[in-house]
Amino acid sequence: MNRMMTRTAIGAALLAMLSACGNMGSDGSVAGMLGTAVKQSAAKVRGEKAAAAPARDPSAMAAEALRVNSGPLIMVGLENMGTTQVMAMTGENGGQRTYMTKNEQALILRGGMLAGTRGLGHDLSVAEMSNSAALIRAGRSGQARRVMRYWTGDGLERPMSFDCTIGPGPKAGVILESCQNGPATFQNNYIVSGGRVTVSRQWVGPNLGYVTIQELRP
């Protein structure tokens, strides 16, 4: 197995481990915030996509992207949408990177942590998380606060504030960020290498749910 395929295989195993960590109660609590309508809609979309066409193999998708693109790449899985795709970096400014697909859906990352989305609908305008980011990248435990701002239908931003606890997870090498705002809770899972998040499962928002992110090329 060559180095490129080894990286992809290891990343896939790590993503599976993070998803297993994230399934321990986090979806249930978020569901209370979302309501059953959103869950049913997401399930319907996944079913329609599965019936329309078989999913591409993520390893083959990653290998092809690495072969044809020489720049930084990430593999992204949107759980509610049931999609997996590769995004290429299209811009970098002040340590913040924008990764985009051909149809101009984009994630904005800061050191591997999700800072915003574009073109997905119900987009995360910006995530303010300086305290939690410092703890996560250093692998330290502590308390932090983050603010997530979302675009509304009238073009305004709606902020949601969360109190977060950061610490090691049940799996070695995994750092958990557990956040709460009243009944609304979520749990992010990170693997850090070289001071940046390289594999993660992060909550985007009440409509988009969770996204898994694997760094294919830094």
Q: What is the pLDDT of residues 47-63, one digit of tens each?
A: 555 455 566 788 888 89
| Domains located in the chain, CATH noted | 3-217 (2.40.360.10)
How much is the pLDDT for 38?
35
Q: The tokens of 108 are what?
A: 């904005």
How much is the pLDDT for 53?
53
Q: Is residue 113 scored above 80 in pLDDT?
A: yes
How much is the pLDDT for 155?
81
The better pLDDT of the pair 16, 155 is held by 155
Share of the chain above pLDDT 70, in %: 75
Distances (CA, A) of 36 to 30, 42, 89, 132, 187: 11, 10, 35, 30, 20
How much is the pLDDT for 32?
35
How much is the pLDDT for 214?
97
Average pLDDT for 179-183: 96
The DSSP code sequence of 97-154 is EEEE-TT--EEEEETTEEEEEESSSS-EEEEE-HHHHHHHHHT--EEEEEEEEEE-TT
Alpha carbons 29 and 210: distance in angstroms, whole number: 13
How much is the pLDDT for 61?
87
Average pLDDT for 74-83: 95
Supply the pTM of this predicted model. 0.78
Q: Are 209 and 64 in contact (CB under 8 A)?
A: no
Looking up tokens 């509304």 gives: 152
153 — pLDDT class (breaks 50, 70, 90): confident
Q: Is residue 105 scored above 50 in pLDDT?
A: yes
Q: Is residue 150 scored above 60 in pLDDT?
A: yes
Average pLDDT for 159-173: 95
- CA dihedral (149, 152, 157, 158) positive or negative: negative
The better pLDDT of the pair 17, 175 is held by 175
The per-residue pLDDT for range 36-50, each reduced to its tens digit, is 333 444 454 455 554
The better pLDDT of the pair 31, 79 is held by 79
The better pLDDT of the pair 7, 133 is held by 133
Average pLDDT for 168-187: 96
Average pLDDT for 189-215: 96
The better pLDDT of the pair 47, 182 is held by 182
Beta-bridged to residue 193, according to DSSP, are: 196
How much is the pLDDT for 27?
41
